Amino acid sequence: MRILGIDPGYGITGFGLIEAERGNTQLLKCGAITTPAGADFSARLEMIYEDMRALLEAAKPDAVAIEELFFGQNVTTGIGVAQSRGVILLAIRQAGLQVYSYKPMQVKQAVVGYGNATKHQVQDMTKRLLHLEKLPKPDDAADAIAIALCHARSSTSLLAQFQQR
């Protein structure tokens, strides 16, 4: 199964494409969609939408996993990220793909085995699970790969298989 993981943002949206088959998982591609900081916000959203459509067309994933939003201290930034996530979800929907959302704690639990793991622990385990020589950059891409791994592990669990019947 080809899984595209997405870490939404309006400055940088990370993505990671993995292939997961019977316990064997490999990284196919990762990177980031970026928008210029000085651009009009609606233009940035349009860039994200168009780039996401092109990515979905090129990657041809079977499933898309995206991180749910966590509103911490900066609600203003969270609103912008929510709008970015909205245009990403629209592009996924228009591509006819199923989208799966995961909370940050779920990603940490699936990748590290501990829901309160640090960002460094998640990145290190992602590197180990995929047998990578170095951590993918930018951090947003590494986060997106972890989201894809979360879906790979969640979708192949016995509970998930039971619920699909």
> What backbone phi and psi angles, to 5 degrees, belong to 37?
-60, -35
Please list the active-site residues: 7, 67, 140
Q: For 21, which DSSP code?
A: E
Q: How many other CB atoms are found less than 10 A from the CB of residue 57?
A: 10
Residue 159, by phi and psi: left (phi above 0), alpha (psi -120 to 50) or beta?
alpha
The answer to whether 5 and 12 have CB atoms below 8 angstroms apart is no
The answer to whether the beta carbons of residues 67 and 147 sit under 8 Å apart is: yes
